[in-house]
Amino acid sequence: MEARRHSSMSSSFFSRPWQDLYNVSVRVPSPLANDAKCDFMNAEDVDDDEHNKSKILVMLHVDAIYEVFKRLSPRDLVRVSTVCKKWHAIVQHSTKSLWQSHCERAFRFFDVNGEETRKRCAEAYSNNYKKMFYERNRIRTDGLYVSRNTYVKACARREIGTSKKEHRPARVVVYYRYFRFLENGEWYSKTSPEPVRVVKRTMYDGKKANEDSSVNVGWYQLDEKEKEERIHCQSAKMKPESGYVTTTHFWVRLRSRLKGGSDRLDCVKLLLVDEDLDANEVLDEEEITEKAKRILPTEENWESVDDYEALYRRNLGAERQGVAPGAYTSGHPNSDGQRDLQRGLNTLVFIPWEECEHHELNKDISEMDFYITG
């Protein structure tokens, strides 16, 4: 008894660091760790203080957390990475499994199939799907692209006691352009004075959008295959009384204000084309192709989006420097029935569905007279 007591006392007083390794089982690495290239063992060791851990971190195994993360949207996945160091390590170190499905879904519009997306990721991004998701622009379908446009409108003169010398009162008019893109290539557009929180109810529901006469339903495609930031949107409306169909063409440039955002659409050209259906039936395939090329924006139009002075003059309605405001080609068609519009071409800002109710673009003119898109 004395010897046993002495040995236990000696071991407690003379402990060695390597003695802590005795009778400690080493956990077999999860097969998901090799797939996701994520050091789950290090992720578990980030928070060593058991007293400061929340109950969910203590109860859930890292593999269970990983399975939950795979089913989150990209926006929510980035949000959970800010909860704690452990979750941040899981999200940041995963370069494939957590992001591959998001890339295949986000770039479905640009690539033919998932195989082309995987090939593009292997060639250009070293098989790093997270890097591809952040650096490659994409059309976002989880919200609305909105632009806020304003102009000054003079009020009507009073019939009695007015003269040309008297000043006429004026007011600022606000209206919005709304774009919604669907994964199948459909495109919804709407121009309305109603704020975002009101229009969201219509644009979110595809059935309501198709039943609303003020919503234009069309499709969108790449203007050039090599340049993924150039998007062409097109819709058509029939006028039975005249036998004409009016086609609306929008050419926009996609860019990101923040890394991986894809949250800005710069309007390059807005064109309305009035066409006679009977006349189009006579044209052959070559003539239809040549007619479609004539309405395309020039390379100068795409480059002018970065010229802020040109954009300012365009918003004023001036074609070139020195032309007085108001001398713009507003709505009179040319010989081909084309109307090149110059107003209402402000940059569209992306707003997710969950932020539509409380976004700053809901403010009226008394609270916000001008909005800088960035």
With cut-offs at 50, 70 and 90, classify the pLDDT of residue 14.
low
Q: Would you give the distance in Å from CA 320 to the centre of its chain?
A: 32
CB 228 within 8 A of CB 255: no
Q: What is the pLDDT of residue 252?
A: 93
Instruction: Give the Cα separation of 88 and 48 in Å (integer).
Output: 15
State whether the Cα torsion 88-93-97-103 is positive or negative.
positive
In tens, the pLDDT along 130-188 reads 899 999 889 999 999 999 988 888 776 654 555 555 666 778 889 999 999 998 889 99
Instruction: Give the Cα separation of 224 and 215 in Å (integer).
Output: 27
Give me the DSSP letters along 31-55. HHHHHHT--HHHHHTS---GGGS-H
Question: Which has the higher per-residue pLDDT, 121 or 169?
Answer: 121
Phi/psi class of residue 371: alpha, beta or left (left: φ > 0; alpha: ψ in -120 to 50)? beta
Percent of the chain with pLDDT over 90: 21
In tens, the pLDDT along 219-276 reads 998 877 778 889 999 998 877 666 678 889 999 999 998 888 899 999 998 988 887 7
Which H/E stretch holds residue 180? Answer: strand 170-181
Question: Which has the higher per-residue pLDDT, 97 or 104?
Answer: 104
Q: What is the pLDDT of residue 32?
A: 45
β partners of residue 251: 232, 269
Give me the DSSP letters along 337-365. SEEEE-SS-PPEEEEEGGGTTT-GGG--T
Instruction: Give the Cα separation of 351 and 141 in Å (integer).
Output: 10
The Cβ-side half-sphere exposure at 115, using a 13 Å CA radius, reads 0
Q: Could you tell me the domains of the chain? A: 31-135 (1.20.1280), 143-362 (no CATH)
Instruction: Give the Cα separation of 301 and 7 in Å (integer).
Output: 88
Instruction: Give the Cα separation of 142 and 124 in Å (integer).
Output: 26
* Residue 230 tokens, joined: 């150039």
Instruction: Give the Cα separation of 69 and 271 in Å (integer).
Output: 44
Cα distances (Å, whole numbers) of residue 200 to 152, 208, 267, 359: 26, 11, 21, 12
Instruction: Give the Cα separation of 34 and 38 in Å (integer).
Output: 7
Q: Pairing relation of β-strands 244-255 and 264-276? A: antiparallel
For the ranges 49-63, 93-107, 114-128, the lowest mean pLDDT is seen at: 49-63
Total-model pTM: 0.77
Cα distances (Å, whole numbers) of residue 250 to 108, 224, 269, 337: 21, 14, 6, 16
Instruction: Give the Cα separation of 81 and 52 in Å (integer).
Output: 18
